[in-house]
């Protein structure tokens, strides 16, 4: 282990020494190759291929993932991990509670005031499944 540290130190010293001895960098001005490749036209060319348009809702995409890879990790948060199957199951259960206990209907707005963690994506997916809209509230902000 001691020799590895010495070898690394020597390599670092040699790299630092060679970078000092080379000519100083020149600023990237209007005539530089960096400036020429960063024109608006170049940016448009680099981004000319748009991702394919998906004609599906988020909850439908999640269900497709449940069907294909139910045990794959869907959510990983500080308070745990959910597979796609678990996410779908929890969201369906929560959607049922929102409908039965709070009479949430399609088109309604639902306020979501939860600490960051696994429950937010579960709640959002449940609300979307119902056809309602969600409004995320920052729990750190004052209530007024």
- Residue spans per domain, the chain: 58-136
Is the per-residue pLDDT at 71 higher than 50?
Answer: yes
Q: What is the mean pLDDT of residues 7-33?
A: 54
Q: What is the mean pLDDT of residues 127-140?
A: 93
Looking at per-residue pLDDT, the higher value among 114 and 39 belongs to: 114
The chain-wide mean pLDDT, for the chain, equals 82
The arrangement of secondary structure in 58-136, i.e. its CATH architecture, is 3-Layer(aba) Sandwich (3.40)
Q: What is the mean pLDDT of residues 24-50?
A: 66
How confident is the model at residue 4, as a pLDDT? 47
Whole-prediction pTM value? Answer: 0.63
Matching residue, tokens 């600490």: 115
pLDDT digits (tens, 9 = 90+) for 73-89: 999 999 999 999 999 99
Give the DSSP letter string of 26-89.
PP--TTSHHHHHTSHHHHHHHT-SPPPPP-S-HHHHHHHHHHH-TTSEEEEETTEEEEHHHHHH
How confident is the model at residue 1, as a pLDDT? 45
Looking at per-residue pLDDT, the higher value among 80 and 18 belongs to: 80
Whole-number percent of the chain with pLDDT over 90: 53
Cα(129)–Cα(92) distance, integer angstroms: 8
Q: What is the mean pLDDT of residues 8-33?
A: 54
């Amino acid at each position: 282990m001691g020799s590895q540290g010495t070898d690394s130190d020597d390599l670092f010293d040699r790299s630092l020494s060679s970078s000092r001895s080379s000519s100083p960098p020149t600023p990237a001005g209007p005539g530089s190759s960096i400036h020429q490749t960063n024109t608006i036209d170049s940016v448009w060319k680099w981004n000319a291929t748009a991702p394919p348009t998906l004609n599906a809702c988020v909850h439908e995409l999640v269900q497709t993932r449940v069907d294909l890879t139910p045990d794959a990790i869907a959510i990983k948060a500080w308070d745990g991990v959910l597979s796609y199957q678990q996410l779908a199951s929890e969201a369906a259960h929560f959607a049922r509670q929102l409908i039965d206990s709070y009479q949430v209907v399609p088109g309604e707005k639902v306020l979501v005031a939860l600490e960051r963690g696994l429950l937010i994506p579960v709640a959002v997916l449940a609300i979307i499944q119902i056809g309602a809209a969600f409004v995320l509230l920052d729990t750190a902000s004052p209530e007024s």
